[in-house]
Amino acid sequence: MRDELADKMTLALVCDLVEALDAQVPPETLIGNLFDALAAGGHAKLLAWRAIEGSDKPNDMNAVSELFGRLLRTTREVLGVDTDAQVRQVVYLVAVAAIGHGLAGDVLAGLLGMPDHEREVMLYIAERESLGVQMNIEQIVVNTLKGRHKEDEHLARNPFGTLPVLELDSGRYLIESLAIIAYLEDRFPEHPLLGEDIETKALCRDLERVIDIRLATPLAQYVHLVNSPLGLPPDPIGAKKIEENLPAVMGYLETLLSDGRQLLMGEQVSVADCTLAAALQFVRFAKLDMLQGYPALQRWDASYRERPAARSVLKF
- pLDDT less than 50: residues of the chain: 1-2, 52-61, 101-114
Q: How far apart are CA 160 and CA 36, in angstroms?
A: 10
Q: Which residue type does 43 have?
A: H
Q: How far apart are CA 180 and CA 165, in angstroms?
A: 8
Q: How far apart are CA 66 and CA 256, in angstroms?
A: 59
Q: How far apart are CA 222 and CA 235, in angstroms?
A: 9
Stretch(es) of the chain classified as CATH 1.20.1050.10: 117-313
Q: What is the pLDDT of residue 95?
A: 60
Enter the CATH code of domain 117-313.
1.20.1050.10
Distance of CA 307 to the CA centre of its chain: 25
Judge contact between 123 and 184, C-beta under 8 A. Answer: no
Closest CA to 300 of 191, 312, 275: 275
C-alpha gyration radius of the chain: 23
